[in-house]
Structure 1
Amino acid sequence: MKAQVLVVMVITVVTTALMSALPAKAVEAQVWAFLYADRLATASYQPANQAASRPDIRSSVTRTSTGAYRVNITGAGSPGVPIVTAVGGSGVHCQLTRFGQNGTAEDVLVNCYSGMQPRDSKFTLSFFYSAPPDSGAPGAYGYVYNNEPKLTTYVNPPLRYNSTGGNVEIYYNPAAGIWTARFFGQAFINIAGSVQVSSAGPTPARCAIFQWYPHELGADAQVRCDPLSAAAGPPQWTLVYMHERSIVGDRNGFFGYLQANQPTSPSYTPNPDRNRAPNGLLHRITRSGPGVYQVEIYGPLKAPNTVHLTVNGNTSAFCNIVGWTLKPGSQPAGLIDITCFDANGTPADNWFSLAYYSP
């Protein structure tokens, strides 16, 4: 009997030692959370439409003044980055004021503006943190926070992720007002995927994805921003690149994206390289007036879910999500209404990139 106990103890010790020697499980979405802040004037609440990578992660929204909100994501404190998108048809844009860890929580301050003026608004917000090594899942995924926008060359900013393990570098052309975020790695060398960007900082600014394209060393995503204050310098921004992965890096659940590249067409199917839906389906877009679009989402989709949107091009225009409707058990499974505006807030036709996720 003693010999049997000794054998069990030895096996247990050896097994434990082997397990401790193994590398941590690779994961491209270690911490994530999203929410739809749909009560634009409520003092404090927990959004009904929210989800996270763990059940102990919960988000609450506090309105601190007109157009100013504090999002507290309990249990999610980590060196990740957020993305925010305004929801509403009134030409309001939302941006990140600042964000960071607050103990075991993540605090994200969001400000929304109509031009230069603070304005209450609904918004979607996603926060994500990925830890190397990557899982090796198909596609490519990366994000970066440009907290030094005046640097002409910024190698490996502190808040970044590259699913290939390669560098993330940012190059700034002050004369053109264009930044290029380069994700190094073979998996990034394609014309597919989607890119989202959010401006960040204490003064109003809007950012666009000028374009993204393959590079011999990886992929380049170009950003153009417009500070709305003449006294403000180049704004900070956060950016996420995804190819065959969701906006939070997770591959579980349902996710998709598209680039709307025919802004005056009454109805069309966007380029399949940048039109990703579950089960090999393709999304469609209809246009009902200047800058007014509806995206038809095909494939499985359910609540809770999140949607993000960025205008594309070398433009000072911007786009809002007006709202979305789920249609369970039918196709299309969801309808997302969008309005795009010129720099003055007048509805105008524009290219845009859209990404959604339903875990």
Structure 2
Amino acid sequence: MTSRILCVLAMLAVGLTAAATSAQASVPNRWGFALVNLTSGVPDPAHQAGSWSAGFNVSVTPGGVGQTYVRFPQLAINGGVVHVTAISENAYWCQAQKWAPSGADMLVAVQCYRYGGAPVFTPYSIVFEQSTGTLPAPKAFGYVHYNGAGITSQFNSAGAVNTVAGGGGVWTVQLPGLGSAGFAGNLQVTSADPSQPARCKVGAWAPSAGTQAVQVRCHNATNVPLNTGWSLTYQRERAITGGALPPGRFGYTFDNTPANPGPYAPVPPAVNYNSASAVNTVQSAGLGLRLVTFPVVGALQDHVQATAYGPGPEYCNLQTVWNTFGGSVYVRNVACYSAATRVDRPSMVSYTSRY
């Protein structure tokens, strides 16, 4: 089994040397998402979709303990970013290890852990996305994949070049040309490490007219700052998939007042976007548990990502799979942890359907 894992990871290493430059406009956008609820086979069809042709599906194969390989059909390309959110009632998280083309497909290695670093399988939501082209303001989209030493893949819908500075577990990402007068949009961050447990989050966020300045913080299996790889995506009036033809049903929110029992609508409104012009709400479902509702935009197939926000080592996952019913989406719940104890902490949530 060990030799098999090493072979697969070696294969994944091929194609991960994309230059640190914006994607070329001649390359079509590619995206896919899935809810991985098994270790082998085709995962939940109600929660997978992508830019592939009809008749194809996401498939999953097992690796080592807590490790799975996700195959996105017809998405082979160098670069892009991957985001993963664990789904569990326990203090678990999942991280991307590596991703790269495998024939005509995109193959992603995902590893999940319990707090403390023991590997464990848990369901998770995963999205791969690669973007091109530009967007007219106020729409904005950008991403960075950083491998622990430098940027290996990036995109900026203003045509600018993103930068990363820092290290040792704390970095500052600049997304020039995507700035806003105040807080607007949403952020998602996921750790990307092929060899050790790593958790990453949004540490801080400072918007300005010229740029979005975002702090990324990462920790090891416990609470020690860690130099590791990660992916960051910024979206504003744009779905997390960032495709050339965005869906009509998507939304995002920033639970920036986690002590508020709610239901409340996060402010400013620009961090609480709903593509149907409805109002997303957040409310307490118990200590460290937040029920997030996206009205009107719900439609299968669909997808949710969540990430923690703040300067500490806390992290968040999804307590269970979201429910899409009557045109609305109920994320029940975003669960945040300090070590293995649930705590009220800020978080960011992004929802998209395929339509």
- Pairwise TM-score range, normalised by the shorter structure: 0.7 to 0.9
Give the Cα–Cα distance (whole angstroms) in 2 for the partners of residues 236 and 249 of structure 1: 22
Q: Which residue of 1 aligns with 2:227?
A: 234
Unaligned stretches of 5+ residues in structure 2: 1-23
Map of 2:170 onto structure 1: 178
Q: Deviations over 1:49-80 (max 9, x none)?
A: 21012325531111223210000112101121
Which residue pairs with 1:198 in the alignment?
A: 190
What amino acid is aligned across from residue 188 of structure 2 in structure 1?
A: Q
Question: Does structure 2 retain, via aligned residues, the 8 Å contact 1:26–1:135?
Answer: no
In structure 2, the CA distance between the partners of 1:191 and 1:28, relative to structure 1 (3 Å rule), is farther
1:132-182 Cα offsets, whole Å, 9 max, x none, are x32547510001100134xxxx5xx331000000011001154xx421111
Change (3 A) 1:239 1:315: same
**What is the Cα deviation at residue 261 of structure 1?**
1.2
Is 1:306–1:357's contact at 8 Å kept on the other side of the alignment?
yes
Contact 2:145 2:230 in 1 (8 A): yes
Q: Does 1:259 align with 2:254?
A: yes
Amino acid at match of 1:244: E
- Partners of 2:86 and 2:229 lie apart in 1 by 18
Partner of 1:140: 140
Between Structure 1 and Structure 2, which shows a larger proportion of strand residues?
1
> 281, 284, 287: which is aligned to 2:281?
284
TM superposition shift of 1:114: 0.4
Look at both structures and tell me which one has the larger radius of gyration over its CA atoms. 1
Q: TM-score, normalised by structure 1?
A: 0.83
Cα 1:231–1:87 change in 2 (3 A) is closer
Q: Secondary structure at the match of 2:91?
A: coil
Q: Contact 2:94–2:113 (CA<8 Å) still a contact in 1?
A: yes
Instruction: Indicate yes or no: 2:299 matched with 1:302.
Output: yes
Cross-structure match for 1:269? 265
SS at 2:158's partner residue? coil
RMSD: 2.3
Counterpart AA for 1:224? R
Question: Within 5 Å, which residues of 2 pair with 1:12-161?
Answer: 30-39=29-38, 42-48=39-45, 49-55=47-53, 58-78=57-77, 79-115=79-115, 116-131=117-132, 133-136=133-136, 138-149=138-149, 157-161=151-155
Query: In the TM superposition, what is the alpha-carbon distance from 1:81 to its structure 2 partner?
Result: 1.4
CA distance change for structure 1 residues 270 and 31 in 2, over 3 Å: closer, same or farther? same
Q: 158, 165, 169: which is aligned to 2:163?
A: 169
CA distance in 2, matches of 1:46, 1:228: 28
Assess if the C-alpha contact under 8 Å between 1:47 and 1:60 holds in 2: no
Aligned to 1:20: none
Going from structure 1 to structure 2, the CA distance change for 1:47 and 1:192 (only over 3 Å counts) comes to: same
Structure 2 Cα separation of the partners of residues 283 and 28 of structure 1: 34
User: What's the CA shift for 1:228?
Assistant: 2.0
Aligned residues: 321
1:210 to 193, 203, 215: 203
Give, in angstroms, the shift of residue 43 of structure 1: 2.9
- Taking structure 2 as the reference length, the TM-score comes to 0.84
| Runs of 4 or more consecutive aligned structure 1 residues displaced over 6 Å after TM superposition | 25-29, 229-232
Quick one: distance in 2 between partners of 1:213 and 1:287?
27
Output one character per residue of 1:186-219: Cα deviation in whole Å (capped at 9) or x when no partner: 5556420000000011211111101222235311
* CA displacement at 1:327 relative to structure 2: 1.5
How far is 1:230 from its partner? 9.2
Checking the alignment, whether the CA contact within 8 Å between 1:180 and 1:220 is kept in structure 2 is: yes
CA drift of 1:233 comes to 4.8
Asked if 2 retains the 8 angstrom alpha-carbon contact of 1:162 and 1:183, the reply is: yes
How far 1:28 moved relative to its partner? Answer: 10
Alpha-carbon offset, residue 37 of structure 1: 0.6
Give the Cα separation in 1 of the matches to 2:106 and 2:282.
36
> Residues 341 and 169 of structure 1: is their aligned pair in 2 closer, same or farther, counting only changes over 3 Å?
same
Amino acid at match of 1:240: T
The whole-number CA distance in structure 2 between the counterparts of 1:326 and 1:190 is 31
Q: Does structure 2 retain, via aligned residues, the 8 Å contact 1:27–1:130?
A: no
Alpha-carbon distance change, 52 to 349 in structure 1, aligned in 2, over 3 angstroms: same
In the alignment, what sits opposite 1:19? none
AA aligned to 1:325 is N
Aligned partner of 2:52: which letter? R
